[in-house]
Structure 1
Amino acid sequence: MQANWTYIVTTLCVLLAIGFTWQEYRRVNKRNLWLRILAVIIAVASLACIALPITYNGVSSRSAERKVILLTDGFDVDSIKAADTSVVTTDIADKKRYPKAKLINSLDELNKTDQLHVYGYGLRADELAQLDSMPFIFHPAKAPSGISHVSWNGHLKAGEPLHVQGIYNNTSAQKVKLVLSGLNTGLDSVILPANTQTSFSLSASPKTTGKMVFSLSTDTAVQGSIPIQVSAVKPLKILMLSASPDFESKFLKNWLTGNGYAVALRSVISKGKFNSEYINIAQFNSDKLSAQIFDEFDVVIGDLSVLNGLSPAEEGALKQAVTDNGLGLIVRADTIEKTSWLQRQFPVDRAGGKEPGAASVIINGKSSIGKLNYGMANIIYRNGTKPLVKTAHGEILASNTIVGSGRVVFTTINSTFSWMLRGNNADYNALWSALITNAARKDNAVQDEIEFLSPPYIGSPVQLQFAQGKASPVIINNETVAIVQSPNVPFEYTAQYWPAASGWQNMQGKSWYVFANSDWRAAQAATKLSATEKYAKSHEISGNVTKQIQQKVRIDVPKIYFYILLLAACTFLWVETKGLS
């Protein structure tokens, strides 16, 4: 519309200018002809400028001194002053607590030139990302009373106990009784002292298999839900190939059989001579290994020297069983003399110098309780592998990769029996369970767990991490969700999902749990406080001096100038016509 108006005015004024100029040229009295023509053009041009918006580029300065307060869960109403007029929130509950606050749909509506103050527990990690590095001043609320940190083993085998651990922040002057319940029955409890932060540990033994939800509660309120999945025991068949009847093989054999695995152990006595043991499995001749023998097992655990010493026929049968039939293979690196297909993805580095002392190791992201002598060797990372066990300094001690239809786990640890000698069953169980679970045939292995970057809550974006063979979308609750492949591990993927309801969710036969927003309120607050304080420190507002913001803008030319020019031109033409000039 604006463009059409410009064309119309310009066309009319051009026609007027031509017509008036022609009239002046035809005039008999040629006195001051060129001055009159100039005056006519000035008058018509002034008229056009009055009718049209005439602007020019300029610079405008304005101050970024407006204070905006963002209210989040946990804010103190008394901390808001009457003079604070610009108060906003994204939470309806916070709006009800402070009716003067303006409700906004998202943090994208905040003006980046304003001085932002955040009150309360702060924001989630995904909400902080929406601020796009916008600085703010954080006014944290006090951490609430309740469970600030909690963890448990959510995937159990039948007969395994549930362990719940955490920290309770008791801000009251009274002792608190914390109760672990399941199926409306109290299973374990602990009394926590007043006015202190206390760690706690509770346990129970689920009697059934399947999905179930336990809970932690105090005398006054339920703290949160504890979803677990208990699977029936499916004993795996394990073939152990040992270079000698050493302590590592002995304790591993005992642990496997004690946990219901069927085990066949072949140890080298001398060249061409073996000692064989069979527990929970029928005996067979293990002197010559074949494809038929390998197909009877789910996992082969072998010393690298033994596997490299197999005959060509045995090595071919083992490779075929792994790549074509999905056999799992765990390789213990007792030597690095020969490089074969077993070690192609796992180059080993032997550091020089003094051998490090015993230290804790990281198993699937969790630090071991006990210390372990892991030696000088470590695995060099390669794309397509997934580290399973690391040192505290990041050196890889165990890793796995997919080889055809099967998986190969490679480890440089050869002294885990020392944990058992010291009675440290928990770390031993965690390490060997992780290695076997990641190696075993898919038909009999425990299902891959779905991992989360943060606990999933209703109404918040959930980042899921999982493994699968194909880069195809996944189905979550009958809804197709796109996935993103990991740049380093080809079989690992992530997906983002917005759960609409709490409770168990279904993802192509796998189940995971979404918490209600009322679950673990204190833990949610602790997570927000930590994330927001970290963000605020790295995005500080520099100084208290008000900044002047320079902006390029379009400035309108005042119409008064064109009125003056029009009046002057018309006056000249009138005076000249009257012969007064």
Structure 2
Amino acid sequence: MIDQITFLNEGWIWQIGIGAIVLWFVFGWKEWPQFGKRRFWVKIVIAFFAITSLAIIALKPAISTTNNTTAKIALLTEGYNKEQLDSLEKIHKKLKKHKYKANHPIFDDINTPDSVFILGYGVKPYDLWQLDDYNVNYLGRNTPTGIVRFKYDYKNTVGEHQIFTGLYINPQKGNKLVLEGPGGAGLDSVSLVVEEQQKFQLTTNLNVKGNYLFSLVEKDSLGKTLSTDPIPLVVEDPTPLKIVVVNGFPTFETKYLKNYLAEMGHQVLVRSQITKGRYKFEYFNMERMPLGAFSKKNLESFDLVIIDANSFKNLGRKSRTALENSVKENGLGVFIQPDLGFFRSSKGFGAFDFISEKKTEIRLDDQAKIKLSKYAFVLKDKFLLQHIHTKSNSKIISGYKHIGKGKIGTTVLENTYELVLDGHTAAYQQIWSKLINSISSKETLSVEWGVASIIAYKDHPFKFDVRTSISKPIIKTNKKHNVSIRRDIDLLNLWKGVTYPRDFGWNTQFLEQDTTKIFEYFVADTSHWRSQALYKTIEENKRYYKKSRKKESTQNHTVRPIPLLGFYLLFLLCTGYLWLEPKLLKL
């Protein structure tokens, strides 16, 4: 134990010290006519003690006790292992235990530990910041059994093929996963096998507009329901787009793409170059119209331009300027079909950054069963790049960036038409539907909502963001309660917020300035998608404490204020003497 004197108002020590010295000199100047006499020196000394005691009272002295024995705490989170805790207690004899409660302060200011051992699945992602000042050891748990990953596009359109993909850890042979529709009818199913992990995919067709609640049901070999998890889905009417496809020469990629776009009801104009200065035009679901060099006028009616990299590179100065201005000012979308030369270009309008790699075949997150051909590159994850298709290792396969009101995007996939030849038409349509819908948003939305997942949990934080041109947006819930939001430091039209939903089922929120742009999300119970939530907690804790630098072990300091009564008495006695001394001389 090491004790030392300190002051609670240490920051004021110079100001108070200088003030005390000045006050003492003023007192000496006042008593200077009595200089040389014995009473002068007595009064100077007593004044020194009085002023010193007053300064000490103002500074508030305390005793700081340093404890060289570090305080260690085992933070017990959900699913902690009792045997693991017993082992820790054998190693650290004075180990203290503290039970973690989500969304509450983890430690108070008094019992602050030097080292923290996290046992169990871990601290919820929204509480991790509370342990930033501690030396943390995350001991973790094994991955829970069940569905730990489940991915799908929560917003789709009528007529599209909806795909659900997931990963099941430690499946039991004989059990079955069943996709049920809103009425409880089975739409698709997959049988589980005995493996360490099993990827699965379920599909269905979307026929009617509306908000629907599908379900993923696990049943045993006898048909008994073991678990049911909700799958909220928003189905909207398709919006026909007007698309122009520009190719330097006819390709199989364009042949199958134009057929798909036409089948989906889009208006499509295809311009393929035959020889220098001569073009072949094809029209689908639209009247014939001339299209030579790009101009602001002839691009006004289009929502999306799909152009191969070579044609994009060889655009004339006027055509390139017209295309760029149409993207910035009119919200036109541009998709560049890459070639090998495109990956070496990194300047100007339409440039993307890439990372080379050896792999030329991949499996996308939402197409886990199907191999796709790609160039030996992936997109580099840079600021403002929005992801469209990714791999499970977070490598970006397709993406886009905002250019003014519009978007420009690309991919590293090649020869996607081979999917159709191999009988994977649904996968082909899913890929191109996602590309087109992500980039072709010519309509300038006054409000655009964004979330990581449409599923929220009752009384748990639900993060969202909103893009809007409104300078001071006000967000309200369906209960007319205000939701606090903050503006992004880099993107002035991007706002982020957190809400804590209180009602189960479909909830809504909207901007007070534009009540037509409603955002709908589904609130579930914490018992739903439990394995996925626990897996996310484990992964977030691993990632957080892998990146965070461990802090050196520090010493505990206990500060105990010194009682000031003695200094008050000394001050009163000294001032009392100085007041009484002149009066005694007159007697």
Structure 2 SS opposite 1:166: strand
Structure 1, residues 144-165: CA drift from partner, whole Å, max 9, x if none? Answer: 5433332233222213333333
356 and 73 in structure 1: CA distance in 2 versus 1, 3 angstrom threshold: closer
2:462 counterpart of 1:462:
yes
Return the offset for 1:521: 1.6
Partner of 1:147 in structure 2? Answer: 147
- In 2, the alpha carbon distance for the partners of 1:324 and 1:192 equals 52
Return the offset for 1:526: 2.0
Q: Say whether the 8 Å CA contact 2:116–2:135 is kept in structure 1.
A: yes
Partner of 1:179 in structure 2? Answer: 178
Structure 2 SS opposite 1:185: coil
Q: Say whether the 8 Å CA contact 2:71–2:556 is kept in structure 1.
A: no
Q: Percent identity?
A: 23
Larger deviation, residues 298-307 vs 128-137: 298-307
Q: Say whether the 8 Å CA contact 1:133–1:539 is kept in structure 2.
A: no
Partner of 1:360 in structure 2? Answer: 362
Task: Select the residue among 493, 499, 502 that pairs with 2:501.
Answer: 499
Structure 2 SS opposite 1:269: strand
Task: Select the residue among 342, 348, 357 that pairs with 1:344.
Answer: 348
Return the offset for 1:522: 2.0
451 and 269 in structure 1: CA distance in 2 versus 1, 3 angstrom threshold: same
Return the offset for 1:195: 9.1
Return the offset for 1:282: 2.2
- In 1, the alpha carbon distance for the partners of 2:398 and 2:535 equals 33
Q: Say whether the 8 Å CA contact 2:483–2:497 is kept in structure 1.
A: no
420 and 132 in structure 1: CA distance in 2 versus 1, 3 angstrom threshold: same
- In 2, the alpha carbon distance for the partners of 1:41 and 1:537 equals 62
- In 1, the alpha carbon distance for the partners of 2:363 and 2:202 equals 25
Partner of 2:435 in structure 1? Answer: 435
2:556 counterpart of 1:549:
yes
- In 2, the alpha carbon distance for the partners of 1:350 and 1:113 equals 46
Q: Say whether the 8 Å CA contact 1:147–1:167 is kept in structure 2.
A: yes
Task: Select the residue among 248, 252, 269 that pairs with 1:247.
Answer: 252
Q: Say whether the 8 Å CA contact 2:66–2:556 is kept in structure 1.
A: yes
Q: Say whether the 8 Å CA contact 2:71–2:95 is kept in structure 1.
A: no
454 and 536 in structure 1: CA distance in 2 versus 1, 3 angstrom threshold: farther
1:197-276 → structure 2 map (5 Å cutoff): 197-218=197-218, 219-276=224-281
Partner of 1:327 in structure 2? Answer: 332
Structure 1, residues 18-58: CA drift from partner, whole Å, max 9, x if none? Answer: xxxxxxx9xxxxxxx979x979988x979x98xx9798565
Amino acid at match of 1:181: E
Partner of 1:61 in structure 2? Answer: 66
1:291-330 → structure 2 map (5 Å cutoff): 293-303=298-308, 306=311, 321-330=326-335
Partner of 2:9 in structure 1? Answer: none
Structure 1, residues 49-89: CA drift from partner, whole Å, max 9, x if none? Answer: 8xx97985655222555554444333467987899996544
2:519 counterpart of 1:515:
no
Partner of 2:166 in structure 1? Answer: 166
Return the offset for 1:424: 4.8
- In 2, the alpha carbon distance for the partners of 1:402 and 1:372 equals 29
Partner of 2:8 in structure 1? Answer: none
Return the offset for 1:123: 1.1
- In 2, the alpha carbon distance for the partners of 1:551 and 1:439 equals 59
Amino acid at match of 1:401: H
Amino acid at match of 1:203: T
Partner of 2:371 in structure 1? Answer: 370
Return the offset for 1:270: 2.2
Return the offset for 1:226: 0.8
Amino acid at match of 1:225: P
- In 1, the alpha carbon distance for the partners of 2:257 and 2:538 equals 44
- Unpaired runs of at least 5, structure 2: 1-23, 25-33, 219-223, 511-516, 574-587
Q: Say whether the 8 Å CA contact 1:74–1:121 is kept in structure 2.
A: yes
432 and 77 in structure 1: CA distance in 2 versus 1, 3 angstrom threshold: same
Q: Say whether the 8 Å CA contact 2:158–2:238 is kept in structure 1.
A: yes
- In 2, the alpha carbon distance for the partners of 1:273 and 1:78 equals 78
Return the offset for 1:269: 1.8
Structure 2 SS opposite 1:346: coil
- In 1, the alpha carbon distance for the partners of 2:209 and 2:120 equals 42
Structure 1, residues 434-458: CA drift from partner, whole Å, max 9, x if none? Answer: 432233243499x966232896433
Partner of 2:402 in structure 1? Answer: 401
- In 2, the alpha carbon distance for the partners of 1:439 and 1:163 equals 20
Structure 1, residues 329-386: CA drift from partner, whole Å, max 9, x if none? Answer: 334466989xx9x97333467999xx956233879x998943424268x888886654
Q: Say whether the 8 Å CA contact 1:181–1:215 is kept in structure 2.
A: yes
Structure 2 SS opposite 1:204: strand
483 and 370 in structure 1: CA distance in 2 versus 1, 3 angstrom threshold: farther
- In 1, the alpha carbon distance for the partners of 2:193 and 2:226 equals 17
- In 1, the alpha carbon distance for the partners of 2:324 and 2:537 equals 50
Structure 1 SS opposite 2:457: coil
34 and 485 in structure 1: CA distance in 2 versus 1, 3 angstrom threshold: closer
- In 1, the alpha carbon distance for the partners of 2:232 and 2:523 equals 9
552 and 204 in structure 1: CA distance in 2 versus 1, 3 angstrom threshold: same
Larger deviation, residues 500-509 vs 453-462: 453-462
- In 1, the alpha carbon distance for the partners of 2:545 and 2:325 equals 56
- In 1, the alpha carbon distance for the partners of 2:174 and 2:355 equals 53
Supply the RMSD in Å over aligned alpha carbons.
5.4
- TM-score, structure 1 length as denominator? 0.68
Structure 2 SS opposite 1:275: strand
Amino acid at match of 1:482: I
Structure 2 SS opposite 1:74: coil
- In 2, the alpha carbon distance for the partners of 1:525 and 1:373 equals 34
Q: Say whether the 8 Å CA contact 2:179–2:216 is kept in structure 1.
A: yes
Amino acid at match of 1:473: P
Structure 1, residues 456-503: CA drift from partner, whole Å, max 9, x if none? Answer: 43333333245444564352424244243363x676554333333343
Q: Say whether the 8 Å CA contact 2:161–2:430 is kept in structure 1.
A: no
Amino acid at match of 1:549: N
Structure 1 SS opposite 2:437: helix
Q: How many residues align?
A: 511
Return the offset for 1:558: 11
Amino acid at match of 2:438: N
Partner of 1:21 in structure 2? Answer: none
